[in-house]
Amino acid sequence: MQNLVLQTKNLKVGYTKGKDRVWSVSIPDLPISTGQFVGILGANGAGKSTFLKCLLGSLMPLDGTIRLQDKPITDWDVQEKAKVMSAVLTEAIPKTQLTVLELVALGRLPHTSWIGKLSEKDEQKVTEALTLVRMLDFAHKKVYELSDGQLQKVMIARCLAQDTPLVLLDEPTSHLDLVHKVSVFKLLQQLAKEQEKTILFSSHDLDLCLQFCDQVLLFTPKGVYFDEPCNLISEGVFHDLFQEEDVTFDASTGKFLLKK
Amino acid sequence: MLWLASLLFGSVTITLGDFWQAFIGNPVQKSDALILWDYRLPKSITAILVGAGLGISGLLMQTFFRNALAGPYVLGISSGASLGVALLVMGSIGLSVAVLNAWTMMIAAALGSFLVLLLILLVSKKMEDPTTLLIVGLMFGSFTGAVVGILAYFSSAEALQKFTLWSMGSLHQMSWEAVVILAITVFIGLVMAYSQMKSLNLMLLGKNYAISMGVSWKIFQQVVLLSTAILAGSITAFVGPIAFIGLSVPHLARLLFQTSQHLVLFWGCVLIGAILLMLCDLIAQVPGSALTLPINAVTSIIGAPMVVWLLMRQKKLTI
């Protein structure tokens, strides 16, 4: 058994209003080990982001435990946690005067002293991260001059600069075209393989995820499943994904088709 | 950049020193030296403290609330301080006049501003929308105005005059003792603000990103709010509500230095805030005449068009 980076037990996530549970989803027990490339799939509103928020700590789980490197996630000091887990979120960032380089450099701050001065090594990591997402040419542009797709790549670079063993990404490819999507997927997969980083990301690109991911956490209306993509296909759970909608799953090709 | 800022700061204080000499005018007599020492010097130090303090409190609020239009005056914090002082000056009819000194007025103003700050924080937790926040600040301003109006209606002429004079803002009448007290509180506020520079930089990406990069939210929030209340509260108590400095100084600093890095902006705001307020004070003196205008009127007359100009120029303000 490899090192477990992230574990969950009897986890239930969702929202409450007062004392009533308005909506909740049970997550199967997750053992996620080092170097795994894990996709989180599901329709809009199925609970992907809610689950990620629980991992990030901005939302409390309704039930169950999450352990980060075998220590309950609530016991982690925020500063220490930032050295182990980094994230790309879906929320829009405020309009600032930051340049691309400065924004990516923010990712290094968890590794600096109270005043936040960057060392030579920090600056090197920033350049590396920008090179990886092929945005080094834009380093001195202001962030507000970027397109949505470019911004998304810069946000991924910031996350990579933070250089943590665990990386969470909430829909990191939603604004990218197919070519750039594939290059981001390849990059993340490569990081998982070569640098032993554990990568969890949610996405709507089902086809790509099934081809790239080691494991998939699938949110369907009938329940949540966690397995390797090929096992999930043979179990036939993808048919549950879009119930009564206009899309059907073809197990032989691993592709989603329109119902005729 | 920091080096440049400190260099500028030096040169500016020097030129201002020269300027004072010229301004005091012609032959330097013994009485002039007295005026300089007991009147002009405390006033110019006050101007520096007030400008720097309000500039930093504006910077803190704009980053903290991720709102380019935030500032102690706009968000109603100065109004809160006004209410505190109004209650003390006009509401304490039964209390002896001895209670009304620099300290009690400062505490009343600081309490008032802190209360508003807490209120705004509560609202900002319920509603993320930045515009809502500004409207709440505006409403609070009107509300305070009304309460002050009611108090004024029932208070004695003497108390009313005292409050009206205070509310017009003034850098005069600062004894050396008052200057020292103000300097200490502003210094504490600035040090607290300076300790949060890294977290403020991380806040440029929003609260959730900041937390994911190791900002301890509770500590950060407490230090920033306390620092703002100390700065805006104590300054308002001593010199009265001063409009637009807190709002416009951070934008001028961003425009001048073209950055959102807080380490640069911190010194930029201190510098520009101090210069701007000394300038406003100079105008308020109406050089060459015996007239003195209320400082709050001058900052509004200069500040309001300046903010409009900034908006027109940048289309959208950044934080």
Q: Residue A96: its chain B contacts at CB < 8 A?
A: 204, 260, 318-319
pLDDT 10s digits, B12-48? 343 444 444 544 544 444 555 556 666 677 888 888 8
Per-residue pLDDT at B226: 84
Per-residue pLDDT at B9: 40
Its ipTM equals: 0.90
Per-residue pLDDT at A20: 74
Per-residue pLDDT at A100: 95
Nearest residue on chain A to B219, judged by CA atoms?
A78
Q: How far is B177 from chain A (nearest CA, A)?
A: 33
Partner B contacted by A86 (CB < 8 A): yes
Nearest to B254 among A86, A97, A102 (CB): A97
Per-residue pLDDT at A1: 46
Q: How far is A89 from chain B (nearest CA, A)?
A: 8
Q: CA-to-CA distance for A54 and B184, rounded, in angstroms?
A: 44
User: Which segments in chain B show pLDDT lower than 70?
Assistant: 1-39, 92-102, 128-131, 286-290, 314-316
Q: What is the pTM of this model?
A: 0.86
Nearest residue on chain B to A162, judged by CA atoms?
B213
Partner B contacted by A258 (CB < 8 A): no
Mean pLDDT, chain A, integer: 87
Q: How far is A119 from chain B (nearest CA, A)?
A: 15
The answer to whether A87 contacts B209, with C-beta atoms less than 8 Å apart, is yes
User: Which segments in chain A show pLDDT lower than 70?
Assistant: 1-2, 243-245, 259-260
pLDDT 10s digits, B258-309? 888 999 999 999 999 998 888 888 788 766 666 778 888 888 888 888 878 8
